[in-house]
Amino acid sequence: MAPSQVTNYKCPNCSGPLVFSGSEQKTVCEYCGSSFDIAEIEFMYASDDTVEIDPQWDTNQTGRFSSQEASQMRSYTCPSCGAILICDGSTAATSCPYCGNPTIIGSQFSGGLKPDLVIPFKLGKAAAVSALKEYYKGKKFLPKSFVDSNHIDEIKGVYVPFWLFDGKANASMRFRGVKEQRRTSNNKETIHKDYYAIHREGSLAFEKVPVDGSSQMPDTHMDAIEPFDYNGLQPFSMAYMPGYLASKYDEDAEECSKRANARIQASVESVFAGTVRGYSAVTKEYSRIDLSQGNISYALMPVWMLSTKWNGQSFLFAMNGQTGKLIGDLPVDNSMYWSAFAKIALPLAGILALILL
């Protein structure tokens, strides 16, 4: 069941509910067709107790939702997988986008950190369904019963929490390079090798290194649908939320900084190694990378998700709601696989037998 629309945002023309349209990048009334810019909606629903937060903050500086914003939201913890989901105040029941279990919404949202930034959905549900159907095509060993019963129309738009890290890396690396020269004399080839000690030192600055803050979202899935286009980043507004769920982070910035550091270190080593050219072989001998962590931003990224079960196993699909990149787990029909294998293997075995006779 798709989430209901936020009833707090009503069309000023007909009082119908407003929903954010990814294609138009505006809030749209489904009754009279009127559309409004985000700035217009924010102005109409402005409140004196709205919390203004600096979009650059560290782990000790946290902005929070105002009392009016919190009153518009509900949260629940999925009893099956533990995911913490946030939705609009009128949603009474939904299903968890991570594990697919149906859930009744009960608790009011309170005490949540307010995101600094958001990338609004650009691709709608129809585009997500179409992309998933296209993803199935050409999968020869995909069970037909899985395709027929995986409830593809239940795909959900979810804002996934991300921490974006700014930092600087000071690095010192040493490589061992080898240059080979092949010489031929009297029909005899000799190889002459020269060895070089190669040093690299320098600094690199990083901005908005992304790490998702949901333990339920597999890192492999998030890595596969990156990158997000940061040109689409907007200051967070509740006006982007109608019609979508939002996953609340359950891994804080301090915990996620470990993965951010690993990504930065890997990038630094790759960049420095890329400057060592002209050698037959290069081996890294020493690496020291000192990281100075800067600002951290809390952002929501748009992801279309579908969790489905087949033969007791769970399969998760995720699609970038901005760019359309998609990743998904698929089952294999073993009977179809072995049948295809037999069609290839048996003729080859016959040919091999004839050769060996």
Give the pLDDT score at 275. 92
Share of the chain above pLDDT 70, in %: 62
pLDDT tens, 176-211?
999 988 888 777 888 888 889 999 999 999 999 999
Phi, psi of 353 (to 5 degrees): -65, -40
- Looking at every residue in the chain, the average pLDDT score rounds to 74
Long-range own/partner contacts, residues 319-322 (CB < 8 A, 24 or more apart)? 319/123, 319/128, 319/131, 319/132, 319/225, 320/225, 320/226, 320/228, 321/22, 321/121, 321/122, 321/123, 321/128, 321/157, 322/119, 322/121, 322/122, 322/123, 322/228, 322/229, 322/232
Phi and psi angles of residue 326, each rounded to the nearest 5 degrees, phi first:
-130, 145
Does the pLDDT of residue 123 top 80, yes or no?
yes
Q: Name 13's Cβ contacts closer than 8 Å, sequence gap at least 6.
A: 29, 32, 34
Tokens coding 141: 């060993």
Task: Say yes or no to pLDDT of 119 above 90.
Answer: yes
15: left (phi over 0), alpha (psi -120 to 50) or beta: left
Give Cα 166 distance to the centre of its chain.
18
Strand partners, 245: 158
80-103 confidence digits (pLDDT tens)? 677 767 765 545 446 677 766 655
- What number is the average pLDDT over the span 107-132? 80
- Stated pTM of the model: 0.68
pLDDT-derived band at 151 (thresholds 50, 70, 90) equals: low
Phi, psi of 231, rounded to the nearest 5 degrees: -65, -20
Mean pLDDT of 42-59: 43
CA-to-CA distance for 139 and 150, rounded, in angstroms? Answer: 15
